[in-house]
Amino acid sequence: MRIAIISDTHFPARGRVLPDECRARLVAADLILHAGDHCDAEALSTLRHLGPPLISVHGNVDGADVRRRLPRQTAFDAEGVRIGMIHDAGPAAGRSTRLRRLFPGADVVVFGHSHIPLVERTPDGFLIVNPGSPTDRRRQPVHTMAELLIAPEAPVDAVIIPLDGPDGGGSENE
């Protein structure tokens, strides 16, 4: 199973469209996760109509219309892997411990907010993932998204996908 992960799209303030490569990966995924800060209901609706199922949480700058439709945090199973998701995971210091406490039994926790892409695995295999942002890179060198890969008899894995430069589509909203 391939799960495409994005966060912090900030539509329409920071972008009006997703980069082509991001959109293609979302459409081809088995499941889409959005870790908050869609910003408006139209952005949420656009993602829901891409095809694959969407699981999402609201972020700190999402409007009331989005907050009414989405939870602050969620947890679910995907092919035997327990995944938690929240927008703001707090400061880097102690983050893995905090997220493990917030989502007991989770194998993976996805979060956003910082726009800083991250894949971090603890020694016991607990995985935390921040996809960065496909539309608002802030101080990061490139726009990014992530993919979570679940395969039978293999540990769950995550990768950050750069969306700029020779291997990515970039964004017209720099």
Model pLDDT for residues 14-37, shown as the tens digit of each residue: 777 899 999 999 999 999 999 999
- pLDDT band per the 50, 70, 90 thresholds, residue 165: low
Q: Are strands 108-110 and 118-121 parallel, antiparallel or unpaired?
A: unpaired
- pTM tops 0.75: yes
- CATH 3.40.630.30 given to domain 2-166: no
Beta bridge partners, 128, equal 109, 120
Handedness of CA 35, 113, 23, 158 (dihedral sign): negative
Q: Is the peptide bond before 53 cis (omega within 30 degrees of 0)?
A: no
pLDDT at 172 over 70: no
- Taking only the tens place, the pLDDT of each residue in 100-123 is 999 999 999 999 999 999 999 999
- How far apart CA 76 and CA 14 sit, in angstroms, is 29
- Taking only the tens place, the pLDDT of each residue in 120-161 is 999 999 999 999 999 998 889 999 999 999 999 889 999 999
Q: What is the mean pLDDT of the chain?
A: 91
Task: Return the beta strands (E) in the chain as ranges.
Answer: 2-6, 31-34, 54-56, 73-78, 81-86, 108-110, 118-121, 127-130, 144-149, 157-162
Q: Are strands 73-78 and 81-86 parallel, antiparallel or unpaired?
A: antiparallel
- How far apart CA 61 and CA 52 sit, in angstroms, is 25
